[in-house]
């Protein structure tokens, strides 16, 4: 029971903070201005959650092109800490570097879960909140993933099946990641 409670609490806490680090990395890759001074910007939420770990890492880990490597490493370190804490609490010892691989698989799972959530939010917002600022932001995040799928799928007029195709691809990837785990 203690292990399940610790797992839940660590999973929620680490998912929020590591997710903010991953979102920060993705937004930088998209060349989105996080603008710490803007009140209603996504940066007002992402930066306070991730600055405490990303900024010290940036002193030693530079960005590579548009990829914010410090944010990726921060997300991985957070997940690695969660895995290590859960293994320690449960008294399980994994041989060699397998716990590092386990943390990497958890990172991939978090990325895929976040993308699935973004696609669902995008679809729902396209139905109810046309033209809102949050819909613009979610579209900015999802459209680069949907663009190649839209090119590959035939045009069905007003019916856009690309989110469904992306969800299927993400679900297949999650199955693969979970089987590797």
Q: Which two tokens stand for residue 121?
A: 């939010």
What is the per-residue pLDDT for 44?
Answer: 82
CB atoms within 10 A of CB 122: 20
What is the per-residue pLDDT for 147?
Answer: 94
Nearest to 51 by CA among 70, 67, 66: 70
Q: Where is 47: in which H helix or E strand?
A: helix 43-58
Residues 37, 5: Cα–Cα separation, whole Å: 37
What is the per-residue pLDDT for 40?
Answer: 62
| Helices and strands counted in the chain (H then E) | 6, 0
What is the per-residue pLDDT for 32?
Answer: 85
Full pLDDT tens readout for the chain, 181 residues:
778 898 899 999 999 999 999 999 999 999 888 775 555 678 888 999 999 999 999 999 999 999 999 999 999 999 999 999 988 888 888 777 888 999 999 999 999 999 999 999 999 998 887 777 888 889 989 999 999 999 998 877 778 899 999 999 999 999 999 998 7
What is the per-residue pLDDT for 39?
Answer: 52
pTM above 0.85, yes or no: yes
- CA 180 to each of CA 46, 72, 102, 108: distance values in angstroms, whole numbers, following the listed order: 30, 21, 9, 11
């Amino acid at each position: 029971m203690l292990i399940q409670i610790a797992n839940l609490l660590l999973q929620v806490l680490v998912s929020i903070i590591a997710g903010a680090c991953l979102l920060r990395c993705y937004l930088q890759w998209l060349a989105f201005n996080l603008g710490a001074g803007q009140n209603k910007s996504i940066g007002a939420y992402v930066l306070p959650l991730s600055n405490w770990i990303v900024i010290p890492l940036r002193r030693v880990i530079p960005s590579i092109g548009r990829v914010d490597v410090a944010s990726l490493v921060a997300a991985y370190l957070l997940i690695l800490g969660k895995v290590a804490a859960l293994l320690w609490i449960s008294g399980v010892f994994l041989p060699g570097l397998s716990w590092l691989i386990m943390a990497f698989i958890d990172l991939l799972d978090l990325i895929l879960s976040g993308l699935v959530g973004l696609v669902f939010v995008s679809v729902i917002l396209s139905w109810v909140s046309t033209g809102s600022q949050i819909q613009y932001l979610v579209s900015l995040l999802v459209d680069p993933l949907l663009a190649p799928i839209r090119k590959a799928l035939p045009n069905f007029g007003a019916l856009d099946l690309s989110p469904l195709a992306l969800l299927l691809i993400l679900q297949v990837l999650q199955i693969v990641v979970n089987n590797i785990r």
